[in-house]
Amino acid sequence: MDAAENLVFVDLETTGGNAAHHRITEIGIVRVANGAVVEEWSSLVNPGCEIPSYIAAFTGISNEMVAAAPRFAALAATVFDKLRGAVFVAHNARFDYSFLGAEFRRVGMHFAATALCTVKLSRRLFPQHARHNLDAVMERHELACNARHRALGDALVLRDFWFKLRLEIPAAEFAAAQAQSVLGVVKLPEQLPPELADELPEGPGVYRFFGADDALLYVGRSNSLRSRVLAQLGDQHPGSRDRKLAAQVRRVDWRCTAGELGAVLLEAEWIKTQQPLYNRHLSRSSEAVTLRLAAGHLGLLETQRIEALAPADLADSFGVFHSAKDARKALTDIARARELCLKVMGLEQSEGSCFALQVGKCRGACTGKEPLLLHQVRIQLALSALKIKRWPFPGRVGLREGDEIHVLDHWTYLGTARSEEELAALSAREADVAFDVDVYKVLMRYLSSHASLDWQDLRVAVDLS
């Protein structure tokens, strides 16, 4: 790639991060030929949907500004012509490239170009630095921008960055870094369409692999659908599980989500309800068990099916397990780690003392050396981290994640809303609210890592705006 080649420096503003779900609101293109700028062009784009308030605050592009702007369909031929025959250069190029590819496909056009990522280029040339976002690049290289977070302003920064590197970096080193910064060509199984690599979005979501006769083979999720699906389908290791699976795939589909929580909830629901052939099938909630201290027997624990317990009883239960076997294994591991007596806890049948006491791994509750009351207190302390948490909300709630609201009711996932109509329907939906073991585990992980939550009580009037 030398100075005689054509380059187009591209930046987009969008309504969100998923090319399959969100839309372009502004396009900026700077074209360079023979080392000189030959064109600067930009246009607002009417996305055909509302721009979220946080996006508008970030970019400065409001719904009022794009109301009279052309739709992408009206700009498609112009944009295609301005990009034609040039190397596509963008910061985090996969994002911009995938958005434009998705918009072109919606109007029946196919766009393909050699794409070079200036984030990758910066990392190759300056590996000693941790940050390579555009603000960091501008500060490091003393680049100015009179319209940050607007498409043409950011595209002009990329042009300045490129020209500065050409002047300051030895030609051979710069050429090698460019070659390593081109987006890779993905090799897919021959039975799949090659355009799949360009259609897959970068953002989070859930995907499905279908085989012969449209049999559902596998359900998965990722924070980057494109990276995960292509890695799984492109596995070249002989005999690997993914390579064997890829050979059977005939069709791929996916659903984008606003974030990780939505992807985890949807993946669990699809696996449970659709039963793909190659997933570890999740147990139905009716099979889930928990541990409880037996009434009238100090230290004795027993497994009970969660569906048979009242909500008040769940608050005095320990752990959520897919099966009694899983519960016994977890309890045995805890007992051995804390020198608890397996015999008193009902996990070992033996005459006299337990085996652990004989090898110095039990404090003697089975022989009276340790008082049973003290032993029971130690059991409760050991199991305290497993104690089932009460539902922390007043009832049915919506957890907001980006532009989606996940509707939940007492550890039951009812669905995800992307509009006021969908939210109203889920809020009013009649459903058997039961303890769902997978939803419980998902939400406990999520709640533990999110100190503050954007939630709303769906027992009252709802508003998605």
pLDDT tens-place string over residues 390-418: 888 888 999 999 889 999 998 889 999 98
**Is residue 220 within 8 Å of 264, Cβ to Cβ?**
no
Tell me how crowded residue 34 is: count the other CB atoms within 10 A of its CB. Answer: 10
Q: Are the beta carbons of 377 and 370 closer than 8 angstroms?
A: no
Is the distance from CB of 289 to CB of 305 less than 8 angstroms? yes
Asked if residue 395 lies in contact with residue 346, where contact means CB atoms within 8 angstroms, the answer is no
CA distances in angstroms from 370 to 257, 333, 367, 384, listed in the order given: 54, 20, 8, 21
By DSSP bridging, strand 397-401 and strand 455-457 are antiparallel
- Confirm if 399 and 268 have CB atoms less than 8 A apart: no
Q: Give residue 88's pLDDT band: very low, low, confident or very high (50, 70, 90).
A: very high
- Confidence check: pLDDT of 1 > 80: no
Report which of 422, 455, 442, 386 is spatially closest to residue 272, judged by C-alpha positions.
442
Paired tokens of 184: 């890779």
Asked if residues 245 and 209 have their Cβ atoms less than 8 Å apart, the reply is yes
Can you tell me the distance from the alpha carbon of 307 to that of 322, in angstroms, rounded to the nearest whole number? 12
Give me the domains of the chain, ranges plus CATH numbers.
7-181 (3.30.420.10), 196-274 (3.40.1440.10), 286-386 (no CATH), 397-457 (no CATH)
Q: What is the rounded (10 degree) CA torsion for 241, 282, 202, 102? A: 100
Rounded Cα gap, residues 89 and 150, in angstroms: 16
Res. 462: pLDDT tops 70: no
Q: Quote the CA–CA distance of 376 and 297 in Å, as a whole number.
A: 10
Return the DSSP state at 182.
B
Note the pLDDT of residue 299: 80
- Phi/psi of residue 136, nearest 5 degrees: -65, -40
pLDDT bin (cut points 50, 70, 90) of residue 286 is: low
Mean pLDDT across 228-236: 86
> In this structure, is the dihedral angle defined by the CA atoms of residues 19, 22, 23 and 26, taken in order, positive or negative?
negative
Q: What is the separation of C-alpha 95 from the centre of its chain, rounded to a whole number of angstroms?
A: 16
Tens-place pLDDT, residues 136-149: 999 999 999 888 88
Cα radius of gyration rounded to whole Å, the chain: 29
Q: Which two tokens stand for residue 143?
A: 């680049």
Q: In this predicted structure, what is the pLDDT of residue 282?
A: 53
CA–chain centroid gap for 80, Å, is: 31
Specify the range with the lowest mean pLDDT, choosing from 142-146, 151-155, 450-454.
450-454
The rounded distance, in Å, linking the Cα atoms of 139 and 130 is 13
Which residue type occupies 144?
A
CB 317 within 8 A of CB 390: no
Q: From residue 351, how far is each of 180, 205, 354, 355, 359 by CA, in Å?
A: 70, 55, 8, 10, 16
For 114-132, the pLDDT digits (tens) are: 999 999 999 999 999 989 9
Helix (H) and strand (E) counts in the chain: 18, 15
> CB count, 10 Å around CB of 263?
24
Give me the residue label for tokens 């919606």.
Answer: 106
Confidence of residue 281 (pLDDT cuts 50, 70, 90): low
Task: Check: CB of residue 52 under 8 Å from CB of residue 16.
Answer: yes
Distance CA 77, CA 96 (A): 17
b/e burial code for range 126-150 (CB count within 10 A of at least 16 → b): beeeeebebeebbeeeebebeeebb
How many residues make up the chain in this entry? 465
Q: CB of 350 within 8 A of CB of 305?
A: no
Closest CA to 131 of 96, 182, 169, 91: 91
